[in-house]
């Protein structure tokens, strides 16, 4: 917690952020710039979290899980009273779209920094949101705007409008619980399953129908409305790179998106906002396919990906939210909204993307090197030493870049990701790199189904944490040398040229720093790209860690080898290094012979 006193503000005196992680840090930053005092709230697990350290004051909510803490209205109200906050920013997730919470805050005489509860209510019900949009002249995806309970209605709809048909939860969102029905014989099971999941996930069984668009882009429009009746559209974000309803990469402007469509979508979004009496920042989601766009739903909160719009427009959306909530009129007109260049955001989650599985990877971050340089922004909720808990969303940070055009933004993002070092947990960085390097992404021919239907992540390995161990270089030990050795990363200079090496050296008791455990995250200095490129133990490949010459091959196809057994000897940097098998098995391939020159990462053998 920074004890620095903040000067008075014309907006609010003190804002309580009813959230955690990167969004809480993000809101604190703008409040501090505006001279607004900040109040953090925290669960028992977040007692020393970054948002707590940065806030002027912090109050314990008690409990560990979200339900026990950040979703504990009474505890948050108590923190409001104790702190004397005159406004509350909900962030996203948690209570950000909860009308009861918004009303409870307002009942305290405290400002809820967000839309009126009535607007949240209209847009929280996807059927009423479709009705409101249609009433405003903004068509939804071809479908029906009332609940469906009769399978015959679904079948008749599919036969009339064509298959597939999407069955969606009326009180859902984010695509969760959505069923895609390809023909009449799937209708009954899909409808009953959709009703069960809607009840289970959202507490309401109502479902509705739409024509399913098979290769759409997911394009959302940022809007900003004040209390005096002004409503602006700020620009769109393409969020098509998603996996199981989780956005991975967002960008603005949408690639290959004509300006007349942009303007029409912006005006449609403003119509939808006005139809529900919207105030503050919000996002209207559309599906865009074959040159047409269709209303999907409206998000009545600040979104994770809002920095993409900030970088393109130059606006601070949290500042705009604060000013609008304080009753100030927007300071710009639609004509004054400018959009320059191209921004891309990558979400860095603590998940292991190995082979496309994205397994959660909670743990303590042991090293965090942030990228920097022109046009690079990192919104992080954690620093080295902080722990990513399984109890909360595992978003560690958002890396956002700006450049004059899309390809330079893409390359800047790849450079920034390669520069990023996060160790102690596995992250989604290798998957992000795979997407950004893929020709379909470069050509912008992807869609909402592309990640799950076309992108091959089989070769991706973790960039840290307990990810794929890498081939160890064991020392070429003499028969009589039984000195225990450890793997150390050293930097050498040979003939005026600098090299980073991993060497097995005698484990000198006392002063020696314990070498990182094999396969541990502590492989500092290697870019995410390098790590994601190296063969992993799991695949049984034996690769050399550096350039050199094979001086001896000690195995042949069919040989049984033990983990740690020397497969060949590599001469590099005027030293002989044994290249060992990472696992026990049978040699199925030997790719080198004595005298061969090899480069870093070259596979020399395969263990089946
Ligand atoms: C769709 C769709 C295709 N056709 N509806 C629903 C919630 C919204 N956030 C995304 N949703 C979609 N609705 C019709 N008629 C495609 C999406 C969609 C999506 C669906 C499932 C998984 C990931 C998705 C990513 C973007 C859009």
pLDDT tens for 366-419 read: 999 999 999 999 999 999 999 999 999 999 999 999 999 999 999 999 999 999
What are the start-end ranges of the H helices in 477-592? Answer: 528-533
Would the pLDDT of 190 be above 60? yes
Binding pocket residue ranges, ligand 1, CB within 6 Å: 141, 166, 174-175, 178, 210-213, 216, 218, 242, 245, 285, 287, 296, 448
With respect to CATH, is domain 528-607 assigned 2.40.50.100? yes
Contact 207, 126 (CB under 8 A): no
Which one of 97, 163, 175 would you pick to mutate in the ligand 1 pocket, going by the greatest count of ligand atoms within 8 A of its CB? 175
Would the pLDDT of 525 be above 50? no
Please give the distance, rounded to the nearest whole angstrom, from the Cα atom of residue 213 to the centre of ligand 1: 8
Ligand 1 atom closest to residue 247's alpha carbon, by position in its atom list: 25
C-alpha 41/C-alpha 47 separation (Å) is 9
C-alpha 279/C-alpha 289 separation (Å) is 29
Query: Which is nearest to 217 in space by CA: 451, 438, 398, 432?
Result: 451
For residue 283 the two structure tokens come to 């996002």
Contact 113, 46 (CB under 8 A): no
Share of the chain above pLDDT 90, in %: 73
C-alpha 530/C-alpha 394 separation (Å) is 24
C-alpha 323/C-alpha 10 separation (Å) is 9
Please give the distance, rounded to the nearest whole angstrom, from the Cα atom of residue 394 to the centre of ligand 1: 22
For 505-522, how does the pLDDT look when each residue is reduced to its tens digit (9 = 90+)? 776 544 333 333 333 333
Would the pLDDT of 232 be above 60? yes
* Residue 233 pLDDT level (bands cut at 50, 70, 90): very high
Please give the DSSP secondary-structure letter assigned to residue 273: H
Which one of 178, 207, 254 would you pick to mutate in the ligand 1 pocket, going by the greatest count of ligand atoms within 8 A of its CB? 178
Please give the distance, rounded to the nearest whole angstrom, from the Cα atom of residue 456 to the centre of ligand 1: 21
Ligand 1 atom closest to residue 172's alpha carbon, by position in its atom list: 7
Three-state SS sequence of 97-142: CCHHHHHHHHHCCCEECCCCHHHHHHHHCHHHHHHHHHHCCCCECC
Which residue's alpha carbon is at the smallest distance from atom 6 of ligand 1? 175
Looking at CATH, the fold of the domain delimited by 342-469 is given as D-amino Acid Aminotransferase; Chain A, domain 1 (3.30.470)
* Residue 258 pLDDT level (bands cut at 50, 70, 90): very high
Would the pLDDT of 96 be above 80? yes
Q: Which residues contact 526 (CB under 8 A, 6 or more apart)?
A: none
Share of the chain above pLDDT 70, in %: 88
Architecture of domain 2-113: 3-Layer(aba) Sandwich (3.40)
Lowest mean pLDDT among 311-325, 507-521, 592-606: 507-521
Looking at CATH, the fold of the domain delimited by 143-212 is given as Dna Ligase; domain 1 (3.30.1490)
Which residue's alpha carbon is at the smallest distance from atom 7 of ligand 1? 175
Contact 51, 21 (CB under 8 A): yes
C-alpha 308/C-alpha 237 separation (Å) is 7
Which residue's alpha carbon is at the smallest distance from atom 25 of ligand 1? 448
For the chain, state the CA radius of gyration.
Answer: 27
Residue scoring higher pLDDT (100 or 244): 100
* Residue 537 pLDDT level (bands cut at 50, 70, 90): very low
Q: Where are the domains of the chain?
A: 2-113, 143-212, 342-469, 528-607
Please give the distance, rounded to the nearest whole angstrom, from the Cα atom of residue 175 to the centre of ligand 1: 5
Mean pLDDT to the nearest integer, 14-37: 98
C-alpha 62/C-alpha 72 separation (Å) is 9
For residues 142-179, one letter each, b for 16 or more C-beta atoms within 10 angstroms of the residue's C-beta and e for the rest, the string is: ebbbeebeebeebbebbeeeebbbbbbbbbbbbbebbb
Which one of 448, 449, 450 would you pick to mutate in the ligand 1 pocket, going by the greatest count of ligand atoms within 8 A of its CB? 448
């Amino acid at each position: 917690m920074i004890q620095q006193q903040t000067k008075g503000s014309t907006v609010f005196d003190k804002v309580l952020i009813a959230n955690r992680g990167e969004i809480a840090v993000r809101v604190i930053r703008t409040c501090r710039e505006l001279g607004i005092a900040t109040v953090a709230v925290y669960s028992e697990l977040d007692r020393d979290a970054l948002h707590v350290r940065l806030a002027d004051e912090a109050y314990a909510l008690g409990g560990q899980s979200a339900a026990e803490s950040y979703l504990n209205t009474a505890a948050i109200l108590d923190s409001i009273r104790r702190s004397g906050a005159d406004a509350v920013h909900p962030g996203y997730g948690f209570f950000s779209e909860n009308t009861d919470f918004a009303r409870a805050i307002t009942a305290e005489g405290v400002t809820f920094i967000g839309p009126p509860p009535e607007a949240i209510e209209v847009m929280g019900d996807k059927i009423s949101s479709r009705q409101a949009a249609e009433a405003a002249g903004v068509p939804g995806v071809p479908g029906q705007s009332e609940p469906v309970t009769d399978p015959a209605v679904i079948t008749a709809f599919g036969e009339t409008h064509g298959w597939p048909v999407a069955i969606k939860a009326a009180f859902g969102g984010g695509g969760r619980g959505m069923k895609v029905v390809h023909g009449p014989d799937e209708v009954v099971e899909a409808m009953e399953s959709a009703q069960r999941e809607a009840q289970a996930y959202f507490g309401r069984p109502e479902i509705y129908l739409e024509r399913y668009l098979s290769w759409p882009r997911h394009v959302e429009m940022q809007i900003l409305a004040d209390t005096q009746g002004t409503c602006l559209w700020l620009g769109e974000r393409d969020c098509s790179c998603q996996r199981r309803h989780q956005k991975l990469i967002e960008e603005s402007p949408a690639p290959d998106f004509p300006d007349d469509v942009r303007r029409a979508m912006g005006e449609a979004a403003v119509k939808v906002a006005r139809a529900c009496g919207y105030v503050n920042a919000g996002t209207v989601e559309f599906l865009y396919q074959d040159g047409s766009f269709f209303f999907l739903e409206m998000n009545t909160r600040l979104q994770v990906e809002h920095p993409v719009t900030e970088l393109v427009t130059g606006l601070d959306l949290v500042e705009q939210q604060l000013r609008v909530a304080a009753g100030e009129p927007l300071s710009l007109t639609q004509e004054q909204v400018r959009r320059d260049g191209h921004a891309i955001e990558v979400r860095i989650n603590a998940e292991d993307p190995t082979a496309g599985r994205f397994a959660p990877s909670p743990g303590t971050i042991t090293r965090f090197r942030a990228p920097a340089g022109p046009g690079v922004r990192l919104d992080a909720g954690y620093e080295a030493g902080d722990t990513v808990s399984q109890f909360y969303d595992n978003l560690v940070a958002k890396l956002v870049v700006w450049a004059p055009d899309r390809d330079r933004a893409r390359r800047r993002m790849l450079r920034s990701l390669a520069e990023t070092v996060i160790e102690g947990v596995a992250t989604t960085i290798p998957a992000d790199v795979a997407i950004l390097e893929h020709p379909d992404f470069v050509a912008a021919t992807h869609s909402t189904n592309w990640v799950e239907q076309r992108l091959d992540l089989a070769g991706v390995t973790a960039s840290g944490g307990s990810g794929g161990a890498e081939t160890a270089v064991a020392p070429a030990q003499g028969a009589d040398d039984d000195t225990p050795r450890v793997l150390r990363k050293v930097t050498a200079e040979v003939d005026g040229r600098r090299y980073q090496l991993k060497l097995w050296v005698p484990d000198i008791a006392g002063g020696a720093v314990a070498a990182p455990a094999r396969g541990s995250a502590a492989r500092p200095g290697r870019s995410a790209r390098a790590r994601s490129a190296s063969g992993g133990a799991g695949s049984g490949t034996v690769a050399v860690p550096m350039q050199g010459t094979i001086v001896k091959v000690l195995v042949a196809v069919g040989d049984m080898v033990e983990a740690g057994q020397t497969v060949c000897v590599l001469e590099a940097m005027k030293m002989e290094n044994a290249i060992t098998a990472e696992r026990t098995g049978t040699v199925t391939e030997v790719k080198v012979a004595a005298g061969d020159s090899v480069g870093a990462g070259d596979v020399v053998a395969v263990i089946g």
